[in-house]
Every structure is written in C-alpha cells, then in structure tokens.
Amino acid sequence: MDLGIKGKWALVGGASKGLGWGCASALAQAGVNLVMVSRGAAALEASADGLRQHGVTVLTVAQDITTPAGREAIWSVAGGPGKNFDIVVTNAGGPPPGDFRDWDRDAWIKAVDANMLTPIELIRATVDGMAARGFGRVVNITSSAVKSPIDILGLSNGARSGLTGFVAGTSRSSQLAGRNVTINNLLPGAFDTDRLRSNQKTIATKAGKSVEEVSEARRKTIPAQRFGTSQEFGETCAFLCSQQASYITGQNILIDGGAYPGAF
Ligand code: NAP
C-alpha cells in the first residue's frame, strides 16, 4: 500500500533500536526522510546507515531527547527541517521498574519529564506548523500499561496516564483535527526488545527464577502465544502516519497480541 507520505520529514525519538527503530524503518520504507534521535552515537549511526538503503535522507542527533538542550539540537540539525516536521514519533525509553516505596520526588520528576513532558514539548513545538501546512501526524509510543497497569511499572503507569489525558483533549482541538493534524498513542504490549528483556531480568531476580522461565510464563499469557516484533509495531505506526489514516485521531491503539482482556 502506498501510504502517500513519500518525501515528508519525520522525527523519531529513541530510534537506534527497539520500537523506535521499528517506526523509523517502516517510515523510511514509505519514503519518509528521517531525523533519528538516541543518546548512544555509535548504535544510532549504525541504525541510520541501515535505513539509508531505502533512498531517503537520514540525519542523526545523538542527544538525550528529554532535555531542552537535546531538543534544541534536533531543531537545529544541519540539513534538517527545523521545527517543520510532518511526522513526529515520540519515544524516550521507559522509566525503571521497582517498588513505589523506593521512588522519591526526584524519581517521579524524571519519569514525568521523560514520558509525559517531553512528548508534550515535542507536540508543542511542531503541531501549529503542521496545521498551517495542512498535514501532520504525531504518534506517541506509550504502553499497554496505560489501559492495564503493571504493578512494578508504577512510574510508567503514572507518567503515561498524564500524557494520555493531555492527548485526549489536545488532539480534539478543531485547530488541529480540522487541519489534518492527528495525534494518537500506540500502546505496545510485550515486544521482543532489550527493554522487555531487562524488565524480565528484574522480575526473575526478584522471584528467584531464571529469565527463560519468566519469559516463557509471560509468552503463554499472550493469546497470540508470542512476543511482538519491532517491525510489525513500526508498520502500524507508519499506517497511523499515512494519508489514509487522516480520520483517526485521539486514539489509544493497543498492539498486544490480544493480551488486554477487555472489550473496550
Ligand atoms: P529499547 O529497546 O530499550 O530502546 C529504547 C531506545 O530509546 C534506544 O534507541 C535508546 O537508545 C533510546 N533512548 C532511551 N532513552 C533515551 C533518551 N533519553 N533520549 C533519546 N533516546 C533515548 O526500548 P523499547 O522496548 O523499544 O521501548 C520503547 C518504549 O516503549 C519505552 O518507553 C518502553 O517503556 C515502551 N514499552 C515497551 C514495551 C516492550 O515490550 N518492549 C512494552 C510497553 C512499553 P540510547 O539508550 O542510546 O539513548
């Protein structure tokens, strides 16, 4: 399917690996030029090189996207579109798992900064330009934990719920939705990435089990009987960024192999 977005510019956060990479890869295959962001320069460059084979321009910004300096570097990267992105995929890695009794104010501020305020800052900087140009797509990578919270991911449950509430209201502004600017959240269940593996390690250590035992037990709880792949996550993201998806906004789209048990 031609997604109708060839030649547009996308900003993708947390893009060197995992779900962010999946989104960058699917967008590159759709002919979209990219600014890819993550902190580690070597891994980022290697991933960007792989995507240049699709014949698109791929720029890299090795910065912490959760900081004002990191975001400033994105807006000023040489050869980039400034703040005139057509597509923004927000993603910055998730907060650490743990026990809420151990989280002080600083831990909460860090989580809210990364998983709520950073996406809001990126939206604030870009959506009015998108509206003026008559096309815009924002996809926030959040988590299935927004709909079905996980006990050890309290920082994620809390911070992402704040973003979800913000998006629910802002996306429905006629100044955005009425000008072909959509904002949606994509909620991953269990995807086979480094993040999932490190969470499983934490659970295994806590429970005195092996990582394989924990991983196998989790896999069996998923109706699809497998973990998701970054590629399929990215393809869903690219569809939400397509011309065809212009009537989808303000949604929380679960992609979890059927793991969430509710009807709504
Ligand atoms: P991942 O495999 O650990 O990849 C995270 C990516 O983000 C890496 O490229 C990392 O590179 C980058 N990153 C992390 N912090 C950053 C920062 N401050 N600034 C810029 N880049 C940063 O994680 P993932 O599994 O793809 O997860 C992506 C998001 O989905 C996370 O928020 C995670 O909590 C959420 N999620 C994942 C799952 C899952 O099953 N995988 C489920 C639910 C929710 P550097 O470290 O080099 O910066």
Answer for the pair 249, 184: CB distance below 8 angstroms, yes or no.
yes
pLDDT, tens digit, 9 for 90 and up, residues 202-212: 889 989 999 99
What is the rounded average pLDDT for all residues in the chain?
97
Q: How confident is the model at residue 139 (pLDDT cuts 50, 70, 90)?
A: very high
What does the chain come to in residues?
264
pLDDT, tens digit, 9 for 90 and up, residues 18-36: 999 999 999 999 999 999 9
Looking from the CA of residue 38, the nearest atom of ligand 1 is: 21
**In angstroms, how far is CA 207 from the centroid of its own chain?**
29
Answer for the pair 183, 123: CB distance below 8 angstroms, yes or no.
yes
Percent residues over pLDDT 70 in the chain? 100
Residue in 89, 195, 252, 255 to alter for ligand 1 test, most ligand atoms within 8 A of Cβ: 195
CA-nearest residue for atom 8, ligand 1, is: 14
What is the token pair recorded at 45?
């460059």
Looking from the CA of residue 228, the nearest atom of ligand 1 is: 40
Instruction: Tell me the whole-structure pTM to 2 decimals.
Output: 0.97
Q: What is the DSSP track for 52-95?
A: HTTS--EEEEES-TTSHHHHHHHHT-TTS-TT--SEEEE---PP
Phi first, then psi, for residue 228 (nearest 5°) are -75, 165
Ligand 1 centroid, distance to 223 Cα (angstroms): 24
pLDDT at 244 over 90: yes
